[in-house]
Amino acid sequence: MRRLPFLLLAASVLLAGTAFRTPLGVAAAAPDRPAAELSVGAAVVLGLVEGITEYLPVSSTGHLIIANHALRLDSEAPLADDAGRPLWYKRPSIRNPAGEPLTLKRAADAYSVVIQFGAILAVALLYWPKLLEIYFGLLGRDPVGLRLLRNLIVAFVPAAVAGLLLNRWIDQYLFSVQAVVVAQISGAVLMIAAERWRRHYATSANAVLNPADLPARRALGIGLMQCLALWPGTSRSMTTIVGGYFAGLEPVRAAEFSFLLGLVTLTAATAYKGCQSGPAMIAVFGWPHVLLGIVVAALSAAAAVKFLVNYLTRHGLAIFAWYRLLLAAVLGALHLL
């Protein structure tokens, strides 16, 4: 079990080689078919990358940007239908006469967000007792569940507001390999510092044994840390686990709160992106491989969550920081070359 996520990641690399040999990671579209149907290999690779990295503190968005680049799914060329008519991400309007043409990159970016539903499903199934506590808390029958819900909402709000305000700017300027390199290095430094602080300076007087027992101000602090994850490559899981450290949670409890907060945050992000870009994504890729990506993401995310809980119990975050630095070095070297 401890090696399973790394084995899955290795398998995704091998599949990426297969998908890469298919131009643009897509299959040629036949008449009355999607504009650029995603290849099976590319769908499986993206599902594996999403599932493995969503809850590990290494950044799923950053890895998916890298995967899309490797699979050549980042073309900015406008797409057209079989009759040669342009496909639109946003049709021309009075406010925007030129409109925004649909591109392979826009569809792939939306795909990367929508398949997060698989990771959401995995955590919902693994942590259904906690969700049941929250449900009974809403009914007034479980005060612990109600306090947990309060903390999740308090932690969710900062990133939700910041995401709505900065969404277009982030999509325009930060979805690049260069931005991911910067975020990977910065996140690694933060993780090493947080791990050192936890081991040497955290006190039992500050400890909180249960995420439901966090004071609201500490839950808000975790939420503010989550805002850092809006920079692709930073990692929502990393920022919330580190925020949990500073809030007084032990590593496993910090990861648990991160997973549950991810249910709220990822559900909101997936729903928002699905409503905004889902029709355009389906027009490009079609339904079958979207569903395939979701299923693969669910299975690999379940394995990754179990691995992380077991690993953090014994070792902490340090290994993931060194992985991030190694990845940044490799990406930086490839970019320079």
pLDDT along the chain (337 residues), means of 10: 47 42 45 61 93 92 87 86 78 85 86 90 94 94 95 96 89 83 94 90 73 94 95 93 93 94 90 80 82 94 93 90 93 79
Rounded-to-integer distance, Cα 237 and Cα 231, Å: 13
Query: Residue 116 in contact with residue 296, Cβ under 8 Å?
Result: no
261 three-state secondary structure: helix
Kindly tell me the burial class for residue 301, based on how many C-beta atoms sit within 10 Å of its own C-beta (0-12, 13-18, 19 or more).
Answer: buried
Q: Where are the domains of the chain?
A: 4-336
Rounded-to-integer distance, Cα 173 and Cα 167, Å: 10
State the pLDDT at residue 246: 92
Rounded-to-integer distance, Cα 111 and Cα 105, Å: 10
Rounded-to-integer distance, Cα 183 and Cα 190, Å: 10
